[in-house]
């Protein structure tokens, strides 16, 4: 059932949606983060944050896609379980100067990168 929902969403959003997500994520500067919903909205797919999440689930192994910079709308590291170990996402963010406590980005608003504003 889950697979059919994913396929239906891919058809609705276009077959290149994951690629479009990856291109936006590549633009997030080091030391900044964005959210699944902000990326979906920028791509004209408001309400498709879950699809951005599915794209990120598959992107954590792509070396040129900084998937660690995409978090939920509250700054929580909800995608950490998709990395090679659960601490990788936090370690990468902290290496870029972002403080994380209990899977929560500190000063989230300060680090937030909104593609709709930044790429306008």
Average pLDDT, the chain: 89
Q: Which of 27, 61, 62 is nearest to 43 (CA)?
A: 27
Helix (H/G/I), strand (E/B), else coil: 90? helix
**CA 6 to centroid of chain Cα atoms:** 17
Name which of 12-16, 56-60, 70-74 the model is least confident about: 12-16
Q: Write down the pTM of the prediction.
A: 0.87
Beta bridge partners of 105: 100
User: What's the pLDDT band for 112 if we cut at 50, 70, 90?
Assistant: very high
Three-state DSSP class for 111? helix
103 has a pLDDT exceeding 90: yes
Residue percentage of the chain with pLDDT more than 90: 73
Q: How far is CA 66 from the centre of its chain?
A: 8
Only one residue has tokens 């601490």, namely 87
Q: Quick one: which of 31, 83, 19 has its CA closest to 57? A: 83
The architecture of the domain spanning 2-118 is Orthogonal Bundle (1.10)
- Residue 66 in contact with residue 35, Cβ under 8 Å? no
Give the rounded percent of residues in the chain with a pLDDT score beyond 70: 88
Compute the CA torsion angle 110, 115, 116, 118 (nearest 10 deg): 70
């Amino acid at each position: 059932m889950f697979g059919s929902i994913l396929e239906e969403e891919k058809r609705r959003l276009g077959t290149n949606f994951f690629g479009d997500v990856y291109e936006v994520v590549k633009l997030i500067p080091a030391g900044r983060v964005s959210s699944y919903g902000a990326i979906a909205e920028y791509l004209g797919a408001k309400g498709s944050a879950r699809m951005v999440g599915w794209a990120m689930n598959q992107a954590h192994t792509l070396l040129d896609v900084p998937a660690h910079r995409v978090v939920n709308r509250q700054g929580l590291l909800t995608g950490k379980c998709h990395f090679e170990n659960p601490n990788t996402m936090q370690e990468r963010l902290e290496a870029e100067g972002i403080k994380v406590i209990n899977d929560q980005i500190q000063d989230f608003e300060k680090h937030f990168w909104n593609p709709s504003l930044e790429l306008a």
